[in-house]
Amino acid sequence: MPQQNLRVMVTGGSGFIGSAVCRHLAGQNDVAILNFDKLTYAASPASLAMLEGKADYQFVQGDVANAEAVSRAIQAFRPNVIMHLAAESHVDRSITGPGEFIQTNIVGTYVMLQAALEHWRALEGAEKEAFRFHHISTDEVFGSLGPEGLFSETTPYDPRSPYSASKASSDHLARAWHHTYGLPVVVSNCSNNYGPYHFPEKLIPLVTLNALEGKPLPVYGKGDNVRDWLHVEDHARALHLIATRGVPGESYNVGGRNERTNLQVVEAICDVLDELRPLQGRTRRELITFVADRPGHDARYAIDATKLEAELGWKAQETFETGLRKTVQWYLDNEAWWAPLRERYAGQRLGLKTA
């Protein structure tokens, strides 16, 4: 797809990954952006303050499950790419409150697909040929890996939590709208993201801020759950490529090739902070506290990104070490961003009610 006059509607553009996508797209030539976001607790308009007032950036507050609001936004903006990132994404919250995940992740995706289909059918010629609906998902839909192997694009789905089940459902809907109606859909599944502007309920920002403040650092179980870590700016670059050059009907896995146990991640954060901002008379590893494991906690995720690398030429630019250091430094330098969020979410544990 040509890069000239790209009009991209990003759902969930004020969230962690969505805001990274908006910032990345804003740095390209001839790209207009519509950020369509409900502004739930995890969204932060401050993540996109640098784009406010720019001619090629618009923000519309709206819910992806509201068909009228979605259609109105699409008709007014006339995107040639829709990047659908809006989702409830915290596993612990899905355990205590699955209803919001069903509504946003499943019903919201259905609404987006229907509105996109209506819009695409009204297009003609090159405009219709160029249109893409890019559905962004997670590696958690594949379930849990053993000690060996990687998730590929053909790995069978095996979701284990309300969150991953809702995302698996949305993936199936997106593919069904391609096969049944011909809507030019591409799907991507990513590994765990980290980086700047990350809401402090997730592991890396939560541990960074707790460690900065000298608070306990809770680690589930023995801390031996393994994740593949992907810097969010590497992911944003990948999503831009997939949305503009991906083949309709295909899916692409995006991973950083940075497998670490949760305990290794926490220890690495402690070590970087001890170097950059030492605590008096103690190391931050002494703050690590092992707590009861999360229900249904998948043992290991790891992504095989070979297809994306070979077909679209993408490669992660950050190693885990370089990306983590940059991330920790960003939190040290940007208290004005995270302090208001920290006031309404102080790091309390979620997701323990299973009966």
Tens-digit pLDDT profile for residues 65-77:
999 999 999 999 9
**What pLDDT, on the 0 to 100 scale, is given for residue 355?**
44
**What pLDDT, on the 0 to 100 scale, is given for residue 346?**
62
Residue 235 CB coordination number (10 Å):
27
**What pLDDT, on the 0 to 100 scale, is given for residue 347?**
60
**Residue range 44-72: mean pLDDT, rounded:** 97
pLDDT in tens, 91-133: 889 999 999 999 999 999 999 999 999 999 999 999 999 999 9
Q: Which residue has the higher pLDDT, 42 or 82?
A: 82
263 falls within a domain: no
124 falls within a domain: yes
- 102: its two tokens: 């069903």
Q: Identify the CATH number of the domain in which residue 71 sits.
A: 3.40.50.720
Residue 354: which pLDDT band, with cuts at 50, 70 and 90?
very low
Indicate whether 351 pLDDT > 60. Answer: no
Distances (CA, A) of 269 to 20, 154, 157, 273: 22, 34, 32, 6
Of the candidates 37, 88, 92, 139, the residue annotated as catalytic is 139
Indicate whether 242 pLDDT > 80. Answer: yes
Query: Bridge partners of 35?
Result: 10, 59
Active site residue 57: no
**Residue range 262-275: mean pLDDT, rounded:** 98
111 falls within a domain: yes
Query: Could you give the percent of the chain with pLDDT greater than 90?
Result: 88
Helix (H) / strand (E) element for 36: namely strand 31-37
247 falls within a domain: yes
Indicate whether 317 pLDDT > 60. Answer: yes
* Helix, strand, coil percentages in the chain from 3-state DSSP, rounded to 5: 45, 15, 35
The identity of residue 126, as a single letter, is A
For the entire predicted model, the pTM comes to: 0.94
Of the candidates 140, 171, 309, 318, the residue annotated as catalytic is 140
**Residue range 226-238: mean pLDDT, rounded:** 97
Distance CA 53, CA 26 (A): 12
Of the candidates 57, 63, 88, 163, the residue annotated as catalytic is 163
352 falls within a domain: no
pLDDT in tens, 162-219: 999 999 999 999 999 999 999 999 999 999 999 999 999 889 999 999 999 999 999 9
Question: What is the number of structural domains in the chain?
Answer: 1
**CA 322, chain centre distance (Å):** 20
Q: Which domain holds residue 97?
A: 6-195+231-258+297-320
Active site residue 274: no
350 falls within a domain: no
Mean pLDDT of the chain: 94
Active site residue 163: yes
**What pLDDT, on the 0 to 100 scale, is given for residue 349?**
52
Half-sphere exposure of 157 (CA within 13 A, CB side): 15
102 falls within a domain: yes
**What pLDDT, on the 0 to 100 scale, is given for residue 2?**
42
Residue 195 falls in which region: left (phi positive, over 0), alpha (psi -120 to 50) or beta = left
Written as one string, the DSSP assignment of 291-338 is EPPPTT--SB--B--HHHHHHH-------HHHHHHHHHHHHHH-HHHH
202 falls within a domain: no
Distance CA 220, CA 294 (A): 7
**CA 266, chain centre distance (Å):** 20
